[in-house]
């Protein structure tokens, strides 16, 4: 078997997720629900076999990955290539706040301009290239294995579009929930999505805050 199977998990919820405040490279901690989501993900994956665990090097992903890896009995490998996009002036702000101070950048964000860096950030084109190169590299290095990746919403957006052969500029019409499971298989240049946005393990965490 040459294919590499991935379970890719977005980090648990943060307060800035709730506020719809852009995080990017800023290191924001999980909130109480996010920590419960990480533990729920860990409990659900405890019976699965993984060969290694790889995470973005930001705190919210690392905390989520460590909760899962502890149950799996595996170390956590930092993978900077899985880090969220650097959003320049958007970081620490909501879209409405950016619209008030920089309408042009807000418009470029809204239309998903491929080559705008939001004032010192990362262009969407460069970000997508980084993400796909990282996953392709991991797939090639771990052929025939099953890997757990813990990453961010923007990274998963790129992966979903790439796996389905979709462009980067159309509006998102799929969900990327915190702490959901996204199962994919990569065999050379062929990507296949097995299951997306599986949240069954999170039902009780949602009940607690309903």
Known catalytic residues are: 11, 84
Residues 130, 136 contacting (CB under 8 angstroms)? no
DSSP labels, 35-47:
HHHHHHHHHHHTT
In b/e form, how buried is each residue of 81-114, taking b as 16+ CB within 10 angstroms? bbbbbbbbbbbebeeeebbeebeebbebbeeebe
Residue tagged 């008030």 (tokens): 100
Distance from C-alpha of 13 to C-alpha of 36, rounded to nearest angstrom = 9
- Could you give the dihedral angle defined by the CA atoms of residues 135, 93, 181 and 170, in that order, rounded to the nearest 10 degrees? -70
Strand partners, 166: none
């Amino acid at each position: 078997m040459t294919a590499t199977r991935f379970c890719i998990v977005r980090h648990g919820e943060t307060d800035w997720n709730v506020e719809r405040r852009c995080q990017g490279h800023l290191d924001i901690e999980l909130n109480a629900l996010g920590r419960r989501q990480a533990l729920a993900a860990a409990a659900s994956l405890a019976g699965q076999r993984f060969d290694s665990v790889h995470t973005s090097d930001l705190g919210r992903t690392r905390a989520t990955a460590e909760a899962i890896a502890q149950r799996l009995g595996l170390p956590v490998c930092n993978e900077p290539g899985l880090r969220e996009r650097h959003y320049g002036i958007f970081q620490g702000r909501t879209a409405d706040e950016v619209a008030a101070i920089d309408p042009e950048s807000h418009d470029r964000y809204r239309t998903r301009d491929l080559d705008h860096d939001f004032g010192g950030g990362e262009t969407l084109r460069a970000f997508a290239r980084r993400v796909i190169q990282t996953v392709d590299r991991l797939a090639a290095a771990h052929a025939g294995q099953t890997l757990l990746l813990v990453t961010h919403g923007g990274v998963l957006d790129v992966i979903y579009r790439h796996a389905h052969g979709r462009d980067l500029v159309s509006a998102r019409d799929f969900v990327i929930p915190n702490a959901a499971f996204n199962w994919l298989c990569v065999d050379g240049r062929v990507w296949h999505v097995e299951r997306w946005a599986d949240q069954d393990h999170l039902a009780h965490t949602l009940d607690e805050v309903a």
